[in-house]
A and B are shown apart, each in its own frame.
Chain A
């Protein structure tokens, strides 16, 4: 398994995948070659539900004409946390505890997981 390459290859096909240990059932993100702590090398790829909750959020402020943007930590329903951003709402309106869902966008010629408010 080549964790980073395979994750990105799935993403380019429109699939947001997580690793899961066959023995423990625990999900792993970011992708790696063994489950943290146990060292189990029985990781398999499974599709993420895409559901998550904002764990923390900030607004990166920029001098005009550049625009402010959101940066957030998202707790996935499966357990792992990742850095991302919440879009399609003003950055200041992203709140801790907000339910979000993953969408895949293209940026700088690569697929990227970002989030939008659920509902």
Chain B
């Protein structure tokens, strides 16, 4: 395989915002995305007029980037409408870093919005049904992840209570986030008492169905220093696609996250031990356990033990999903861009009650399909980016 010349530290997130988390009746997906976009641009003193690179996917429009450019009234030189499900946004950010470094554009806006809770009241699928799976009435995507959880339990002895630790940690972070959808107390007893949906999952193992929007603005490093001293620099980025349908996944306990993380860490010149905060795609409780293992925060199979005793909750050893995650904060069809917003905001130091003190290095992870397509971004503050550029990377 050829060596990748990723422009490490050459592009940064200078604005990162959300809008309409929870229930936002009366707005369509583009209204919501536009709200988040204008907020994110304003953080860097920019308006849509300044945007010449645009990336967006929405659940209900395969050519969404055209509609959104039109909505904003811009004629972007660079667009990205790549759809890999919930990991699309990590791919958009990686592509944007290259596009900025190559001079294809100067300001990239990456946006997402969904009105699925108000419009449909349930998860909206954007995939065609499978002739090989549909006759067996899978409850996609829940049953696919339930099969992965059952396998993890079988191979490694992971327990239902350990899945519960993930849900409870997410809820405790959500309680520190005024925007989060679910902020009520969640005890292990509550968690275990909830009705089963697809064994071993109950409702509290599954992500929320909400409305919501997110947006980030990326520019080259020179401009980032002027626009936002707290900017979050993209130090490493990698993506790995392995399958679409869960039956085609070689091992249900190894997703593409392992390979993507390995490459992203190498490009960033850091290791898991250096990371201050992890924002990963927790569509289901098993995801957090599996992805922490795969990114190297614990050994393979040890994720259930790793998350126990509040280790990833506020005050624990590793802050994970500090906004409350897809489980307790927001999950409007696709959650991937929210991990990038939260990771960026943690680097910027603007997270108030849930701020991780001194956060210099953060992970934004995205998961698409059914453990199908995984993206990992390593973000760092200005000091980390300077160190990386001086070390001769990129």
Known: A71-B198, A108-B135. A58 touches B154 (CB 8 A): no
**B196-A112 in contact (CB<8A):** no
CB contacts (< 8 Å) of A84 on chain B: these are 136
CA A71 to CA B151, docked complex, whole Å: 13
Chain B interface residue count, Cβ-Cβ cutoff 8 angstroms? 26
CB contacts (< 8 Å) of A4 on chain B: these are 131
CA A110 to CA B135, docked complex, whole Å: 10
Asked if B302 lies at the interface with its beta carbon under 8 angstroms from chain A, I say: no
CA A71 to CA B146, docked complex, whole Å: 10
**B247-A83 in contact (CB<8A):** yes
CB contacts (< 8 Å) of A112 on chain B: these are 135
**B247-A81 in contact (CB<8A):** yes
CA A73 to CA B154, docked complex, whole Å: 14
Instruction: Say how far B155's CB is from chain A's closest CB, in angstroms.
Output: 9
CA A108 to CA B137, docked complex, whole Å: 12
Known: A83-B136, A85-B136, A110-B135. A56 touches B154 (CB 8 A): yes
Interface residue ranges of A27-63 to B (CB < 8 Å): 30, 55-61
Asked if A1 lies at the interface with its beta carbon under 8 angstroms from chain B, I say: no
Asked if B386 lies at the interface with its beta carbon under 8 angstroms from chain A, I say: no
- With both beta carbons as reference points, the residue of chain B lying nearest to A110 in the complex is identified as B135
CA A96 to CA B147, docked complex, whole Å: 10
**B146-A58 in contact (CB<8A):** yes
CB contacts (< 8 Å) of A81 on chain B: these are 247-248
**A83-B150 in contact (CB<8A):** no
Q: Tell which of A96, A97, A107 touches B135, judged by Cβ atoms closer than 8 Å.
A: A107
Interface residue ranges of B168-227 to A (CB < 8 Å): 195-200
**A71-B195 in contact (CB<8A):** no
CB contacts (< 8 Å) of B132 on chain A: these are 30, 82-83
- With both beta carbons as reference points, the residue of chain A lying nearest to B252 in the complex is identified as A56
**B195-A61 in contact (CB<8A):** yes
CB contacts (< 8 Å) of B146 on chain A: these are 58
CB contacts (< 8 Å) of B195 on chain A: these are 61
CB contacts (< 8 Å) of B196 on chain A: these are 59, 61
Asked if B50 lies at the interface with its beta carbon under 8 angstroms from chain A, I say: no
CB contacts (< 8 Å) of A110 on chain B: these are 135
Q: Tell which of B131, B147, B200 touches A71, judged by Cβ atoms closer than 8 Å.
A: B147
CB contacts (< 8 Å) of A58 on chain B: these are 143, 146-147, 150, 198-200
Asked if B133 lies at the interface with its beta carbon under 8 angstroms from chain A, I say: yes
**A61-B247 in contact (CB<8A):** no
Known: A58-B146, A112-B135. A73 touches B247 (CB 8 A): yes
CB contacts (< 8 Å) of A59 on chain B: these are 196, 198-199
**A96-B199 in contact (CB<8A):** no
Asked if B31 lies at the interface with its beta carbon under 8 angstroms from chain A, I say: no
**A55-B137 in contact (CB<8A):** no
- With both beta carbons as reference points, the residue of chain B lying nearest to A31 in the complex is identified as B132
CA A104 to CA B139, docked complex, whole Å: 22
Q: Tell which of A55, A83, A96 touches B138, judged by Cβ atoms closer than 8 Å.
A: A83
**B147-A57 in contact (CB<8A):** yes
CA A92 to CA B146, docked complex, whole Å: 14
CA A14 to CA B200, docked complex, whole Å: 34
Asked if B52 lies at the interface with its beta carbon under 8 angstroms from chain A, I say: no
- With both beta carbons as reference points, the residue of chain A lying nearest to B150 in the complex is identified as A56
**A71-B138 in contact (CB<8A):** yes
**B247-A96 in contact (CB<8A):** no
CA A57 to CA B252, docked complex, whole Å: 12
Q: Tell which of A56, A69, A97 touches B148, judged by Cβ atoms closer than 8 Å.
A: A56
CB contacts (< 8 Å) of A71 on chain B: these are 136-139, 143, 147, 198
- With both beta carbons as reference points, the residue of chain B lying nearest to A107 in the complex is identified as B135
Asked if B246 lies at the interface with its beta carbon under 8 angstroms from chain A, I say: yes
CA A92 to CA B148, docked complex, whole Å: 16
20 contacts between A and B (CB under 8 A): A4-B131, A30-B132, A30-B248, A57-B147, A58-B146, A59-B199, A61-B195, A69-B137, A71-B136, A73-B147, A73-B246, A73-B252, A83-B132, A83-B138, A83-B245, A84-B136, A96-B150, A96-B154, A110-B135, A114-B136
The 8 nearest A-B residue pairs measured at CB: A58-B146, A56-B147, A83-B247, A56-B151, A59-B199, A96-B154, A30-B132, A83-B133
- B-side interface residues toward A, CB under 8 Å? 131-133, 135-139, 143, 146-148, 150-151, 154, 195-200, 245-248, 252
